[in-house]
Amino acid sequence: MKENSKSLASMKFYIRTFGCQMNENDSERIAGILTAGGAKMSDSPEDSDLIIINTCAVREKSEEKLYSCLGRLAPLKKRKRVVIGVGGCVAQLYRSEIMERTPFVDFIIGPDNYSQLADIVHSSQEEKVVSTSWSEDFHEFPSEMTLRESDVSAYVTIMEGCNNFCSYCIVPFTRGREKFRAKENILQEIQSLADNGYLEVQLLGQNVNSYTDPESGKDFAFLLRELNRVDGIEWVRFITSHPKNLNRDIAEAMKESEKVCRQLHLPIQSGSTSVLKRMNRGYTREEYLEKIAMLRQLMPDISLSTDIIVGFPGETEDEFQDTLSMLAEVRFTNIFSFRYSPRPKTAASREKDSIPFEEKKKRLIQVQELQKKMQVEFNRSLIGRTMKVLCLGKSKKDPAVYAGRNQGYQVVNFRSQKDVTGQFVEVHIASCGPYSLVGETV
């Protein structure tokens, strides 16, 4: 190592995360690896010797955020000796381009290579390092090494990758093919979390509904029933589900398992069957609605959320209206909505991006305004009720207020006479906004 190089044990590190829950969980693992090597976490890049940007490639905007962030770090690199690395999906996809556009980056690391991080930080102080290889096997990561942000709610990965190849989606090219974690290892980690005081777990995977235990061949419904028997854990959630793989057995497992929250994120993407076909989603509008009806027949109080893409290539006004009518019919508790942006290597990227930006923007506004109206109506219907809330800590906006989530995964801000962080509390709902509920502990 060069004479002025630093050992990991003498470093302070800063991690910036863009993306989904998978990226957030990866950052917790990265922090755990660095901490195990003796490094200390910093609150700012200026006070750090090692900076890692963990990226998402699902939306074009995430890439823009990466380069904007790197641009802000360039002057810092000139002022002091700091190691800068880029990890995650954009790193996997654009490793050469990142090195060309931002030559001050010291290393690139893909999602399947975090176990090598300590060695890569060491080597990158002498020469540039790019580590983006893939393995067909699921890599176990010691749960105790994960530096979790929360002391009460934890992410637990059950599978990685995706085999669906939706025509707009880059995930199979950045996360690889599906590989599943052994059921016994999942159960072991969750029991360990329960023993350490965690009350909630969120199962993670690109398509959890396709989960298959590599040892027994048991499916996701079986896993949910097994998790329901773990002592200490009170709430179990999972994300993300693909509609084509959601079956009655999974829905019945949710109903039978009192610890599995009556909440489901089920991305539809479009309300038009013709657009869904071009997206290669594997279901029709009618089939999606049938599954919603099944879920509500089994669990009338289930909270549903979804993803919506507007402006997909060739989307006509009538097809867009189908999406609006779908939202009005299902009345989701929450949605995540986006303008279509072509992603490299995907089938849709070979089609003409035919919808003008301003039209995409207009359609997105229509979707969001309709959803906001319905969310206000739904949230108002909850005023006067008392509900169970898992308190996650103080509100970021008002330190005098606590924040948590109810079983439907809605944000609940409330006042309490005592510190209830990390506890379940009963909250009486007194008011609301479109995106949160407001109340007081009973």
**Domain C-terminal end among 361, 380, 399:** 380
Q: What domain range is 65 assigned to? A: 8-131
Residue 3 within any structural domain of the chain: no
Question: Are 201 and 310 contained in the same domain?
Answer: yes
Question: Helix 248-256 crosses helix 285-298 at what angle (to 10 degrees)?
Answer: 20
Residue 136 within any structural domain of the chain: no
Question: Are 244 and 373 contained in the same domain?
Answer: yes
Question: Are 216 and 106 contained in the same domain?
Answer: no
Question: Are 15 and 113 contained in the same domain?
Answer: yes
Stretches where the chain sits below pLDDT 50 are 1
Question: What pLDDT score does 63 carry?
Answer: 80
**Domain C-terminal end among 331, 353, 380:** 380
Residue 106 within any structural domain of the chain: yes
**Domain C-terminal end among 131, 165, 185:** 131
Question: Are 373 and 390 contained in the same domain?
Answer: no
Residue 1 within any structural domain of the chain: no
Q: How confident is the model over 110-160, as pLDDT tens digits? A: 988 998 999 999 999 999 999 998 888 888 888 888 999 999 999 999 999
d(CA 36, CA 26): 15
Question: Are 219 and 334 contained in the same domain?
Answer: yes
Question: Are 223 and 159 contained in the same domain?
Answer: yes
Torsion of CA 122, 92, 55, 39, to 10 degrees: -10
Question: What pLDDT score does 423 carry?
Answer: 96
Residue 177 within any structural domain of the chain: yes
Residue 414 within any structural domain of the chain: yes
Residue 174 within any structural domain of the chain: yes
Q: Structurally, how many domains does the chain consist of?
A: 3
- One-letter amino acid at 342 equals P
Three-state DSSP class for residue 42: coil
Question: Are 420 and 350 contained in the same domain?
Answer: no
Question: Are 206 and 232 contained in the same domain?
Answer: yes
Question: Are 400 and 417 contained in the same domain?
Answer: yes
- SS3 sequence of 49-79: CEEEEEECCCCHHHHHHHHHHHHHHHHHHHH
Question: Are 331 and 406 contained in the same domain?
Answer: no
Question: Are 183 and 125 contained in the same domain?
Answer: no
Q: CATH code at 100?
A: 3.40.50.12160
Residue 2 within any structural domain of the chain: no
Tally DSSP H helices, then E strands, for the chain: 13, 19
Give the full edge-to-edge strand order of the sheet including 12-17.
40-41, 12-17, 50-55, 83-88, 107-109, 129-131
pTM for the full predicted model: 0.93
Q: How confident is the model over 76-89, as pLDDT tens digits? A: 999 889 999 999 98
